[in-house]
Amino acid sequence: MLGDIKEIKQNWSIVAIAFVLIFFAFGVPTYSLPYMYTPAMEEFGWTNTQVQLISSAKFLVGAGAALGMGIMVDLLGSRVAVLIGTVSGGVALALFLGATNLPVYYLAGAMLGLSASSIVAAMKIVISRLFTIHQGLAMGVVLSGTSMGSVVMGPIWAPLLEAGYNWRVIAAMMSLGALLIATPLWLIFMARTGAMQDNLRAKAVVEAGQPGMWQHFLQISKEKGFWFIAIGIFLTSAVDQALMQNYVNFLRVDKGIVLSSLAWATMYLGIMGVAAKVGSGWFYDNFSIRGVRFTYMLLALSVLLGLPVAGVGLSLFMFLTVRGIAHGGMIVEAPIITKHYLGPHNMGMTIGVISVFINLGFATGPAVMGMFVDHFGNYNMSFVVFALLAFVGGLLLVPIKPRFWIPPSQRRKQEQEVGAANLQPANV
């Protein structure tokens, strides 16, 4: 129990810093994009598929960046990777001012992918290194910065759009957080000296008798379980991000809900996401991969609950509640699966590899859902298909059992045995 408290007390500062960085690098852009799509289509005549492809550009670049940054953190530490993320995120949002054509629009999205993956990959690795007992809880708090974007962006975007502000101007305004808050905060934090900063600057420790990075990748890639995890994460990430990028258009166009109502809906979804990310972290600490499997099944249910939504009422409340809980469990699960199944060795590389599949899912989901909508004229068919994909993702985790995780009951028993042994009188 004392070990539990010590782990939290020693590392609380990096959890707070990481939360702020994730908010500006991932939360602000991710929850701003859905508010850009309809105004962009109205201003330039772009199709639903075309506007959704910015997510593909964002997350395809993010896939490569996640792997590259994971390896960079293992080799050089996290200082440079995070700085790349904060600066590129601010520049990307400012670039929307000139996004009057699709190439510039997609370039801004690609830079957002570099930013988000740089920071998210670095923070996942750092938190996974520092926390063992409370890895999930710490990861949940840090990654709740993504859902905090929903809490803040809805009440900002909806009133500004209704007041007549151009969507590109609003996006550029969002760059100030990354450039004037996140970047200086990281530089000031890393300018300090101490054990925490030394840990963040440190490269991965080479363990005696363990394979090198490339050999380790070849080793895990031969396992059937690795591919079950990779495909499951790809499918569920595609579903989660497709819903995240389309739910504003879905509620606004298919369900006729006005922007002012969407602002509170977005805020409520974000609050649920923040609470669920922290709660899911605790849940995964206690139930490991079984908990992740439950989240994937809940994700499938959350998609189906969108179909019966009828105006601002109970059906919308149910959809947003289950959606927020399911979304809260996403992203948090990847470091848990990685460490609990693949182990702590070369964690930067392994988390980077798994993050590639996450970002490929993120890149694929929104554009494919946009194609469904362009073809069928509404979201109904896409919601049925995507719910099925999430269900398949959950089924793929059925044979996966944790190999590097001690259940809380066993951990307490071990602590009691150690405590009892320490009370025994020494042999003289």
**CATH classification at residue 173:** 1.20.1250.20
pLDDT at 397: 96
Residue 324 pLDDT exceeds 80: yes
Task: Extract the tokens encoding 374.
Answer: 């362009």
What's the token pair of residue 182?
A: 């996140």
pLDDT of residue 347: 75
Q: What is the mean pLDDT of residues 86-98?
A: 93
Q: Which two tokens stand for residue 187?
A: 């530089």
Q: Tell me the CB-side half-sphere exposure of residue 244, using CA atoms within 13 A.
A: 33
% the chain with pLDDT above 90: 39
Mean of pLDDT over the chain:
86
- Maximum mean pLDDT: which of 94-103, 148-157, 241-250: 94-103
Average pLDDT over residues 403-422: 71
Q: In the structure, what pLDDT confidence band is assigned to residue 121 with cuts at 50, 70 and 90?
A: confident
Structure-token pair, residue 296:
């994937």
Given a cut of 70, whether residue 419 has pLDDT beyond it is no
Cβ–Cβ < 8 Å for 34, 247 = yes
Q: Which residue has the higher pLDDT, 199 or 223?
A: 223
Mean pLDDT of the 338-354 span: 83
Report, as an integer, the average pLDDT of 316-339: 91
Domain tally for the chain?
Answer: 1
Band of residue 3 on the pLDDT scale cut at 50, 70, 90: very low
The reply to whether 165 falls in a domain is: yes
In a domain, 109, yes or no: yes
**pLDDT over threshold 60, residue 270:** yes
Query: What integer pLDDT is reported at residue 97 of this predicted model?
Result: 94
The answer, yes or no, to whether residue 100 has pLDDT greater than 70, is yes
Confidence bin at 6 (pLDDT 50/70/90): confident
Asked whether residue 422 is domain-assigned, the answer is no
**Of 76, 94, 86, residue with least CA distance to 20:** 86
Residue 329 has pLDDT above 70, yes or no: yes
Indicate whether 8 pLDDT > 80.
Answer: no
What is the largest distance, in Å, between two alpha-carbon atoms of the chain?
Answer: 87
pLDDT of residue 428: 40
Query: Average pLDDT, stretch 25-29?
Result: 86
Burial of 289 from C-beta contacts in 10 A (0-12 / 13-18 / 19+) = buried
Whether residue 420 is contained in a domain is answered as: no
Q: Who wins on pLDDT, 294 or 136?
A: 294
Q: Report the pLDDT averaged over residues 391-412.
A: 90
Length of the chain: 428
Q: How far apart are CA 154 and CA 27, in angstroms?
A: 12
Q: Residue 299 falls within a domain, yes or no?
A: yes
Residue 417 lies inside a defined structural domain of this protein? no
pLDDT value at residue 2: 41
Q: Which tens digit of pLDDT belongs to each residue from 44-88?
A: 999 888 998 888 888 888 888 877 877 787 777 778 888 888 899
Q: Do the domain assignments include residue 419?
A: no
Residue 86 counted as domain residue: yes
> What are the CA-CA distances from residue 141 to residues 12, 58, 178, 374 (Å)?
10, 24, 20, 37
What pLDDT, on the 0 to 100 scale, is given for residue 331? Answer: 81
What value does the mean pLDDT take over residues 310-335?
A: 90
**Structural domain range at position 260:** 2-205+212-410
d(CA 118, CA 127): 14
Residue 292 has pLDDT above 80, yes or no: yes
pLDDT > 70? residue 279: yes
Lowest average pLDDT, out of 133-147, 208-222, 224-238, 309-323, goes to: 208-222
Q: What is the reported pLDDT for 212? A: 61
